[in-house]
Amino acid sequence: MATWTWFHRLASPPHVYAFARRWTPWFGGFAALAMCAALYGGLVLAPEDYQQKDAFRMVYVHAPTAWLSLMIYTTMAVAAAVGLIWRMKVAHAAAAACAPVGAWFTVAALGTGMLWGKPMWGAYWVWDPRLTAELVLLFLYFGYMGLRAGIEDPAKADKASAVLAVVGVINVPIIKFSVEWWNSLHQTATVMQMGKPKMDFDMLWPLLLMFLAFALYFVAVLLIRLRAELLRRERNASWVREVLA
């Protein structure tokens, strides 16, 4: 019963708006602290890799951005599915708020990956399954945003873009397992794998901390964008007048 009360409150725009306003500084503050500590750990404290030398330190920016690009798409697809199934406007607003952030982090993952690829593989870009699937992810984000922008009626835009987000989620496991299913230049998983991670603990903790920092940061940015979305959608509602008074 308590679970359903919580779920119903999630469907209430003024409740979600107030929650977002209250918690954004906390998520943002902890994200900034964790990012600084993880940067120091990764760039200064972690020892160099025996094969990749100092170039391995690119993992501290590439892996979190790539992971976030997938996590944001998954969050967007889940929110879109909730919006479709329960016709929850807040869920559609959350999905819409995810898209630009996810697209930017896909650009970051591709860009940092290219800068790592040049010294390790000898080329900025190869049509490798992992890289190609990540590029498809960027086009999915563009498609989602383009579809929303192209449909004038917000309810229709919500539905059409949600279907695209849900169908496109098939690309997430393809990206994750591409390095195992096909021959790939990209290295296999070193952290997110069954059993013990392959990394030494001195290298691992800054990376895990950076993952946490990026996750907290994403929540903070999502909450800010969600507030903007709710204000635009609910501009004629009485609670908006009260909030802005």
Partner 1 sequence: MNEFLDMGGYGKYLWPAFALGFGIVVLNLVLALNSLTSAKQEAKRRMEMSQ
Question: Strand, coil or helix: what is 49?
Answer: strand
Give yes or no for residue 48 binding partner 1 (CB under 8 A).
Answer: yes
Q: Which stretch binds partner 1 (CB under 8 A): 116-124, 129-137, 138-146, 180-188?
A: 116-124
d(CA 42, CA 206): 5
Dihedral over Cα of 168, 172, 178, 181: its sign: negative
Give yes or no for residue 55 binding partner 1 (CB under 8 A).
Answer: yes
In degrees and rounded to multiples of 5, residue 34 shows phi and psi of -65, -35
Dihedral over Cα of 198, 182, 104, 101: its sign: negative
Q: Which of 161, 39, 173 is nearest to 97 (CA)?
A: 161
First to last CA, the chain: 35
Give yes or no for residue 93 binding partner 1 (CB under 8 A).
Answer: no
Nearer to partner 1, 141 or 217 (CB): 217
Give yes or no for residue 141 binding partner 1 (CB under 8 A).
Answer: no
Give yes or no for residue 217 binding partner 1 (CB under 8 A).
Answer: yes
Nearer to partner 1, 104 or 139 (CB): 104
Q: Which residues bind partner 1 (CB under 8 A)?
A: 28, 35, 44, 48, 53-55, 57-58, 61-62, 64-65, 100-101, 104-105, 107-108, 111-112, 115-116, 118-119, 217, 220-221, 224-225, 227-229, 231-232, 235-236, 240-241, 244
